[in-house]
Structure 1
Amino acid sequence: MSYDGSAASSSPDNSEHEEETDIPIATLIQHLVDAKKALSSIGTLWRANEIVSEAQTALGESVILTARTGFLRTGISQQVRLLEKVRSGIQIVYDDGQADFENVIKNLDDADDRLKKTMNTLRTTMVASALRPSDEKPRSLLDFIDDNSIEATRSALKDTIDLTQSARSSFASSIRTFDTSRSALKTAISSAPAPTPSHSSPIPPLLHDLRNHAAEMALLLESLTSHFDLCAKAVKHTEGGFLALKAAASNNQLPAGVTVSGVIPSPAASSHLSPISPEERTAMVRVLAADATELPAVVQDLDLRLQEMEAILPHILHHVAVARSAYSATTTAFTMLERLAAALPAYIAASTSFASSWQDAKSALNAQAEELSNMQRFYHGYHASYDGLVIEVARRHGAERKMKAVLAKATEQLERLREADTVERNAFRREVGAFLPSDLWGGLVGDAPRWGVSVLEEGGGSTPGLERGLVEGSLARERERKRGMRGE
C-alpha cells in the first residue's frame, strides 16, 4: 500500500486505475471518512506497545528469578550433601551403640544363664541326711546361702538397662525427627519446578516476534495516516470540496474527531492554497483510489497482528509464572533448610550425649556382668566343695573303720593275754598261797587287770557313713573338674 503521490504515474501496476482521472466529490468524502475510521486502529498499536513492554518486563523478571532460583538450588544441594554426611555420622553412632549394647546384653545373658544353672544345681542338690540332725527336714545346698545379693545385682542390672533403653529411645526419636525434616526438605526440593536455563528460555524469541509485529503495525499505522492526509489534500484541491464536506457534517456523515475546519479551510482561505497541476491531481487521485481499495486489508492486518501478539503474551506470562512458582517453592525449601540447620546442633548434641551415656552404662553393665560371673564362680565352688566334703566324709568314715578294726583286733589279743594271765595267777596262788602271807603284797591275790581302748578326742563325734551312689557321684564330678582344669 503506497501513499506517496510521486510513486504513481504510468506504471503497469497502476494501469487499471488510469481511468480514475477524476473522482466525484462524494466519493472523496467517503474515502476521507473511511480513512479516519481506519485511523481508530491506533488503539491496536497502543496495545501492541503495552504487550511489548509487559513482555520486556517479564523477561527481566524471568532472568532475575531464574538466577536466584538456580543460586538457591545450588546452595541447598550443597547443604543437603553436608546434612547427609552428618546423618551418616549420627547413624554410625547409633548402630555402633546398638551393636555394642547387643553384645553386652548377650554377655549378661550368658553370665546370668550360667548363674541360674549353678543355682538350679544347688537347689536340686540335697544335703546328705547323714550329715544333718536326724529330726531335721531335708535341705538343699541353696538353703544354706543368702541369695539376696543376686537379686540386688539383677535389680541394679534392670535399672541400668532401662536407663540405657530410655536413652536409646530418646536418641532414636531425635533421629526420626531429623529424618522427617530431611524427607520434607527433599520432597520440597524435588517437587519444586526446575528453573529453565537462560539459553533455553522461550521468552527472547517470543519477545523478538512481538517487537517485529509492533514495528510492522507502526508502519501500517503510518501508512493509514498518510492515506488520510492524502484524502484530505484531495478534498482541499477539489472544487466544491468545502461545501460538500460541510454538507456531510450537517448530515452527521463525518466520524467523530473530523471537523470541516480541520480538513479544509474556508473558500476564502482556500484561495491561498498552492495550486497543483492537473497531472499532479490525476496522479494523486489514482493513488488515493488504489489505496482506498487496500484500506480494509491494512486494518485487518493490524487486527491479526494484535491477535497474534495477544496469543503470544500468555506463553510468556506462563513461563514467568512457572519461574515465580519455582522460586517460591525453592525459597520454601530454603526456609525449611534454615530451620533444619538451626536444629542441627541439637541433633549432634543428642548423638554426643547418647555416646557418652552409653559408655557410662556399658562400664556399669560390664561391672555387673563381672559380678554375676564372680557369683557364679563362687557358687560353683560351693557345689564343688560339697562334693569334696562328701569325699572327705567318706574318707574319714573309711579311716575310722580301719581304726576300729585295729582296735577290735587289739582288744581280742588283750583279752586272750588277760585270760592267760589269770590262769597263771591262779596257779601261782595255789602253789605258794599257803606259805606267803596275804598282806605281804597287796596285789598278790588281785585279779589280772582288764584293759580297754577309748577315743581320747571326739573331734566332732563319729563320722557317719554315706550312700555309695552319693560318694561315687561326687568322685565322678571331681574327676571331671580336674580333667577340665588340665584341659584349660
Structure 2
Amino acid sequence: MAASSAAGSSSGSLKRLDDHQQKPPCIPIDTLVNHLLVAKRSLSSMNHVLRANELATSARLSHQEALLLGAQTAFVRNSMLDQVTILTRVRGSLQCTYEWGKRDFKKLVKAMDEVDTELTGTMDMLRDTQVQSTLQPSDRKGLTLLDFVDETSVHDMREAMKRSIQDLQGIQVSFDGDLLRFETDIRNLRKTLSAAPLPTMEEDSQPATASLLFQMEDHSATMASLLASLTTHFDMCVTAIRTTEGAAALARRRVAEGMQSEGSEEVSISGVIAEQESHMSNLEPKTADDQAEMLKVVVQDAEEVDDVVFEIQDHLANMEQEYTVVQKYLIRAKASYTSILESFAMLGEIGDRLGDYLAAEEDFKQRWELEKEAVFGKLEEMREMRKFYEGYASAHGSLVLEVERRRAVDERVQSIWRKAQESVDKILEADRASRETFRQDVGEYLPTDLWAGIQGPARKWTVVQITDDESAAASVDRTPAQRSAIVDGESKVTLD
C-alpha cells in the first residue's frame, strides 16, 4: 500500500514491491463501499496476530522450560554416571573376593586330593601286605593287614570331606547369586540411562531452537506490521466513505443488509464513522487533490488486501510449524527428564540393596573361613589317620621280628630243657641202679613198714609249658618246694 501525501502522513498502508503508479479512474460509491467492507473483514486477521503473539510467548516459555529441564537432566545424568562408576568399582571389589574364593577352593581341593591320595596309598599298602602265616589263625588264611582295620572311619572321613566341598560350593553359589543380582542391577541401570532420550539444541533435520524463536518473533513482528497496514487501510476507507457524499449512508445500508442476509456477526461501521466525525483524523483530506490522492491509495491498497491477509496467514502457518518443533523439543526434554528420574529412582533402589550386597561379601568371608578351618581339621585328622596306619604297618614288621625272636627263645629253652632232661635221665638211671643194688644188699633185712619209700620206684621229672594263668593256679595248689620249681613262668617241673 502506498503512502498518502495528501493527508500529510508519512506512514503508508499496504506496501508491495510492484506498487501501481497509474492514475486511478473515478471510483463508484459501490466500489468504495466494497473496499470498506473488505478492509473491515481483513481486520479479522487480528486473531491471527494474537495467536502469533501467543505462540511466540509460549514457544519462549517452552524453550526456557526445556533448557531448565535439559540442565537438570544433564546434572542428574552426570551424577548418576559417577554413581554407576562407583557401583562398578564396588562390584569389581566383590568380584575380586569371589575370585579369591575360587582360587582358595582350588587350593583346598588340591590339598584334599593330595591327602586322600596319600591315605589311599597307605590303605592299598595295608591291603597288599599279607599277615605272617605264623600269626594267622588256623581257620583263617590269606589275611592282610587291612582285614584288621576298621575302614568305616576312613569312609566317614571321606564323606565328611565331600560334605565340606559341597558346603564350600554352596557358599560360592550363594555369593555368586548376590553378585549376579548386583550385576543385573548395574546393567539395567546402564540400559535405562542409555535408553533415556538426550535433549539437544540441534537435530540433523531441524534448525536450532534458538533460531526458531528468533524466526517466530520476526514472523510475529511482521504480522503486527501487516495488521497495522490493514488498519491504516481501513481508516483510509472510512475517511473516504465519510468524505464522499452519499457513501456513508450506502455503507450503513449495505452492512445492515449483509448482516440480515448472512446472519453473520459483522461489526457495524457506524461507530467507526461517528468516531472519525467527532474529531479530525490525520488522514482527513484538506484539498481536492488530497481527496483524489487518498482515493488513489485506497484503490491501490484494496488490490493488495487479500495478499496481505494471505501473507499473515502464511506467517502464522510457519509459526505453527515452528511452534510444533519447539514443543517436540520440550516433549523430548520432559521425556528425558522423566526417564532420568526413573533411572534415579532405580539408583535409589540399588542403593538400598547395596548394604545387602556388602553384607553378603562379609558373610561369604566368615562362612568361608569357618568352613576352611573345618576342612583343615579334617585334613589333619586324615594325616593322623595315615600316620597311624603307616605306624601300624611298621609295627607289623616289628611284630614279625618279635615273633621270630620269641620262637628263637623258645627253641633255646627247649634245647636247654632237652639237655637237662638227658642229664636227669642219666641221673635217674644211676639212681635206679643204686636202688636195685641197695635192695639186693640190705633189702631182705629191713622191714617194709620201716619206710614207705623203701621199695618205691624212683621219681620221674617232666618239663611242660604252661600259661601265666596256669602258672598262677599251680602256684596256689603246689607245695613251696614244688612252687620253687617253676622256671621263668613259662615251664614247670613236675615231680611224679
TM range (shorter): 0.7 to 0.9
Q: Answer whether contact 2:201 2:208 (CA < 8 A) is retained.
A: no
* Aligned AA (1:259): S
Q: Answer whether contact 1:242 1:265 (CA < 8 A) is retained.
A: no
Instruction: Report what 1:289 is aligned to.
Output: 299
Deviation per residue, 1:147-172 (Å, 9 max, x gap):
44434434443444443333322222
Instruction: Report what 1:2 is aligned to.
Output: 2
Find the aligned partners of 2:130 and 2:296 in 1 and give their Cα distance.
Answer: 142
Instruction: Report what 1:429 is aligned to.
Output: none
- CA drift of 1:173 comes to 1.5
Find the aligned partners of 2:166 and 2:172 in 1 and give their Cα distance.
Answer: 10
Find the aligned partners of 1:15 and 1:300 in 2 and give their Cα distance.
Answer: 18
Q: Does 1:310 align with 2:316?
A: no
In the superposition, the TM-score normalised over structure 1's length comes to 0.77
* Aligned AA (2:61): T
Instruction: Report what 1:232 is aligned to.
Output: 238
Where does the alignment leave 5 or more consecutive residues of structure 1 unmatched?
A: 427-432, 440-449, 461-488
Higher RCO structure, 1 or 2 (CA under 8 Å, sep 6+): 1
Find the aligned partners of 2:108 and 2:272 in 1 and give their Cα distance.
Answer: 109
Q: Answer whether contact 1:31 1:292 (CA < 8 A) is retained.
A: yes
Find the aligned partners of 1:367 and 1:256 in 2 and give their Cα distance.
Answer: 104
Q: Does 1:43 align with 2:47?
A: yes
- CA drift of 1:18 comes to 5.1
Identity of aligned residues (%): 32
Match of 1:384 among 366, 376, 394: 394
CA 1:15–1:278: 2 relative to 1, 3 Å: farther
- CA drift of 1:379 comes to 0.3
Find the aligned partners of 2:148 and 2:279 in 1 and give their Cα distance.
Answer: 151
* Aligned AA (1:145): V
Q: Answer whether contact 2:2 2:19 (CA < 8 A) is retained.
A: no
Find the aligned partners of 2:350 and 2:135 in 1 and give their Cα distance.
Answer: 75
Find the aligned partners of 1:14 and 1:458 in 2 and give their Cα distance.
Answer: 156
- CA drift of 1:452 comes to 11
CA 1:262–1:21: 2 relative to 1, 3 Å: farther
Q: Does 1:70 align with 2:85?
A: no
Q: Does 1:259 align with 2:268?
A: yes
- CA drift of 1:125 comes to 2.6
- CA drift of 1:224 comes to 0.2
Q: Answer whether contact 1:66 1:327 (CA < 8 A) is retained.
A: yes
Q: Answer whether contact 2:201 2:209 (CA < 8 A) is retained.
A: no
- The number of equivalent residue pairs is 437
- CA drift of 1:391 comes to 4.4
- CA drift of 1:349 comes to 0.7
Summarize the alignment of residues 192-231 of structure 1 with structure 2, pairs less than 5 Å apart.
Answer: 192-196=196-200, 202-231=208-237
Deviation per residue, 1:268-295 (Å, 9 max, x gap):
x799997731011011111111111221
Instruction: Report what 1:366 is aligned to.
Output: 376
Where does the alignment leave 5 or more consecutive residues of structure 2 unmatched?
A: 444-459, 466-486, 492-496
Find the aligned partners of 1:205 and 1:162 in 2 and give their Cα distance.
Answer: 69
- CA drift of 1:265 comes to 4.8
Summarize the alignment of residues 316-395 of structure 1 with structure 2, pairs less than 5 Å apart.
Answer: 316-394=326-404
Match of 1:241 among 222, 243, 247: 247
SS at match of 2:127: helix
Q: Does 1:299 align with 2:305?
A: no
Q: Answer whether contact 2:199 2:329 (CA < 8 A) is retained.
A: no
Summarize the alignment of residues 158-169 of structure 1 with structure 2, pairs less than 5 Å apart.
Answer: 158-169=162-173
Find the aligned partners of 1:15 and 1:399 in 2 and give their Cα distance.
Answer: 154
Match of 1:144 among 135, 138, 148: 148
- CA drift of 1:14 comes to 10
CA RMSD of aligned residues (A): 4.1
CA 1:385–1:275: 2 relative to 1, 3 Å: closer
Find the aligned partners of 1:275 and 1:344 in 2 and give their Cα distance.
Answer: 87
Q: Does 1:103 align with 2:107?
A: yes
Instruction: Report what 1:189 is aligned to.
Output: 193
Summarize the alignment of residues 401-420 of structure 1 with structure 2, pairs less than 5 Å apart.
Answer: none
SS at match of 1:40: helix
Deviation per residue, 1:334-376 (Å, 9 max, x gap):
1111000011111101101110111111111111101101101
Q: Answer whether contact 2:202 2:209 (CA < 8 A) is retained.
A: no
- CA drift of 1:308 comes to 1.0
Find the aligned partners of 2:19 and 2:85 in 1 and give their Cα distance.
Answer: 80
CA 1:382–1:3: 2 relative to 1, 3 Å: same
- CA drift of 1:319 comes to 1.2
* Aligned AA (2:137): P
- CA drift of 1:305 comes to 0.8
CA 1:248–1:365: 2 relative to 1, 3 Å: same
Q: Answer whether contact 2:136 2:143 (CA < 8 A) is retained.
A: no
Q: Answer whether contact 2:43 2:231 (CA < 8 A) is retained.
A: yes
Instruction: Report what 1:484 is aligned to.
Output: none
Q: Answer whether contact 1:3 1:223 (CA < 8 A) is retained.
A: no
In the superposition, the TM-score normalised over structure 2's length comes to 0.76
Q: Answer whether contact 1:63 1:198 (CA < 8 A) is retained.
A: no
* Aligned AA (2:266): G
